[in-house]
Amino acid sequence: MLEVDQVRAGYGAINVLWDVSLKAEAGKLTTIIGPNGAGKTTLLRAIMGLVPVTAGEIRLNGQRLNGTPTWEMANHGIAMIPEGRLVFRDMSVEENLIMGAFHKSHRPHVKRRLEEAYEMFPRLRERRAQLAGSLSGGEAQMLAMARGLMSNPRLLIIDEPSLGLAPLVVNELFEILVRLKGTGRTIVLVEQNTARAIGVADQVNLVQSGKVALTQAAAKIDLEELHALYFGR
């Protein structure tokens, strides 16, 4: 289980998160929604050690993560798929995937995990020798997701996977999220498409102005009430 307990974090003198607390249960999909600038991505970056935590604590299965270098997160079974489909454009699809298993502890499993990635994302198998920079937006997002899975993470953090993609591609990505959820992984999802995010989630957290305004089981969410909170009505 991931626990964020009274966390404050930000950028230099600018604080963004104010005493944020939430939990992501093992084997469940927890979604974090909220308007632009609410602090959602900052929260993910704080979890990953990309932004310093100035107060509070982040724990995974009871083990403190604060102060853990980002490059050590894979050793703790954590992988993040960042916003913006950040692939290595001048490398092939398969080379990008192999980079996801770069740490020496994962290298013995590369062949098996490549095959698992190609089974989950068949289009990547067809483009395995193609440069990542020539992929469509949807294909690049699939590559970013598949690369994140190459370390076989227990906790998968995904930031805005549907951003800028066509509706048909978004449908495909959410079908993949359902399949990933079925594997028993713990997933934390930040997503702009509120209805779709709630549709796949077990737990919903609404973040506004750097604070958690609502935490509720997805099955109990009333969309009208949620949108009223979302837009501050």
Q: What are the helix (H) ranges across the chain? A: 40-47, 93-99, 110-120, 122-126, 137-149, 167-182, 194-200, 223-230
- Token digits of residue 228: 């009223």
CB 15 within 8 A of CB 8: yes
Q: What is the pLDDT of residues 35-88, one digit of tens each?
A: 888 999 999 999 999 999 999 999 999 999 988 999 889 888 999 998 877 898
DSSP H or E segment with residue 157: strand 155-159
Q: Six-digit token pair at 222?
A: 């009333």
Ramachandran region, residue 12 (left: φ > 0; alpha: ψ -120 to 50; beta: rest): left
Q: Phi and psi at residue 48, in whole multiples of 5°?
A: -85, 0
pLDDT of residue 226: 82
Nearest to 47 by CA among 9, 83, 103: 9
Residue type, 93: V
Measured from the Cβ of residue 204, the count of other Cβ atoms closer than 10 Å reads: 22
Query: Structure pTM?
Result: 0.89
Kindly report, residue by residue over 113-169, the tens digit of the pLDDT: 899 999 989 999 999 999 999 999 889 999 999 999 988 899 999 999 988 888 888
DSSP secondary structure string for all residues of 96-135: HHHHTT-STTTGGGHHHHHHHHHHH-HHHHHTTTSBGGGS
Cβ atoms of 28 and 203 within 8 Å: the answer is: yes
Task: For residue 106, name the pLDDT band (cuts at 50, 70, 90).
Answer: low
